[in-house]
Amino acid sequence: MRYIIPKQIELKTTKNEDLRKFCVMPLRAFLNPKISPYALRVLGVLASYCNRGGFSFVSLKKIGSDLGRTPQNVGKHLKKLEAFGIVESYKNYFPMLKGNTRRIIFDENIKREDLKEHDLHNSEITEILHNTILQNKVSGEDKKVQGVSQSDNMGIDDIASLFLSISKEHQLIEAEKLLAQGLTPGEVRIRMALGS
C-alpha cells in the first residue's frame, strides 16, 4: 500500500472591504478661503482614517492611492494644512510605527494631552500592523518584505519583526494569543520555534 502525502492546504486571503462611509472634518477648514479644494480633499481622506480623537497614522502613499495622486503631492497639501493649524504632525509618536502620526485639530482649545482616552494603544497598533501586512500580501506589495532575512529584521521593532516572520494563519493566531497573555515578542518567537 502506497501512502500519498496530501498537498498542503493553501489559505486564501481576501482584501478587507473598505467600510469607510463618511468622515468628520473641522468647519473652519471650509471657512478658510486660503485652503484649496484639493487640500480639503486630502483632509477628507485623512479624516476618514482618523479615530474619535482625530489621530491617524495613515501613510501619504495610501492617501495618494485613494485620491489618485502621488505621496509627494499629498505631503505638500498636508504641509499647507499644518501651516493653517488644521493638522498637527508628530514624528515617532508611536515607536513601532514608521512615519508620522497626524491629528486633525477640530477645536484649537483642545490640546493633545486632553485626548489621552482617544489615543491609540499598542493592541490597536498591533492589529493595524497585522491587517496592513495581510493587505500587502493580497495586493502583492510585500515582495520586498518576503525577501528580507531574519538578520535583516534586527533594526525593525520586535512586534513588527514577529509579524513579518509569520507566514501561516495558524501561526498568526498563535502569536496573537501569546501576545494577549502578556508575553514579549521575543518570548512568543521562542515559544513558536519550540512548538513547530
Q: What is the mean pLDDT of residues 49-73?
A: 90
Q: What is the mean pLDDT of residues 25-53?
A: 93
Task: Answer yes or no: do 75 and 140 share one domain.
Answer: no
Q: What is the mean pLDDT of residues 123-141?
A: 63
Q: What's the one-letter identity of residue 188?
A: V
User: Which residues, in sequence order, are bridge partners of residue 191?
Assistant: none
Burial 127-138 (b: 16+ CB within 10 A, else e): eebbebbbeebe
If one compares 67 and 192, the residue with the highest pLDDT of the two is 67
Task: Answer yes or no: do 103 and 161 share one domain.
Answer: no
Q: Is 178 a domain residue?
A: yes
Residue 195 has pLDDT above 50, yes or no: yes
Which residue among 118, 141, 158 closes a domain?
A: 118
If one compares 18 and 72, the residue with the highest pLDDT of the two is 72
- Cα(19)–Cα(22) distance, integer angstroms: 9
**pLDDT of amino acid 146:** 43
Q: Is 4 a domain residue?
A: no
Task: Answer yes or no: do 50 and 91 share one domain.
Answer: yes
Residue 94 has pLDDT above 90, yes or no: no
Q: Is 183 a domain residue?
A: yes
Q: Is 127 a domain residue?
A: yes
Which residue among 101, 118, 135 closes a domain?
A: 118
Query: What's the total number of domains in the chain?
Result: 2
10 Å CB burial of residue 174 (0-12, 13-18, 19+) is middle
pTM of the entire predicted model? 0.54
Task: Answer yes or no: do 133 and 92 share one domain.
Answer: no
> Which residue's entry shows cell 520555534?
193
Instruction: Strand 100-104: give its sheet, edge to edge.
Output: 55-56, 100-104, 87-91
Q: What percent of the chain has pLDDT over 70?
A: 71
Q: Is 80 a domain residue?
A: yes
Task: Answer yes or no: do 111 and 153 share one domain.
Answer: no
Confidence of residue 37 (pLDDT cuts 50, 70, 90): very high
3-class SS at 180?
Answer: helix
- Per the structure, the complete domain to which residue 75 belongs is given by 27-118
Which residue among 84, 118, 152 closes a domain?
A: 118
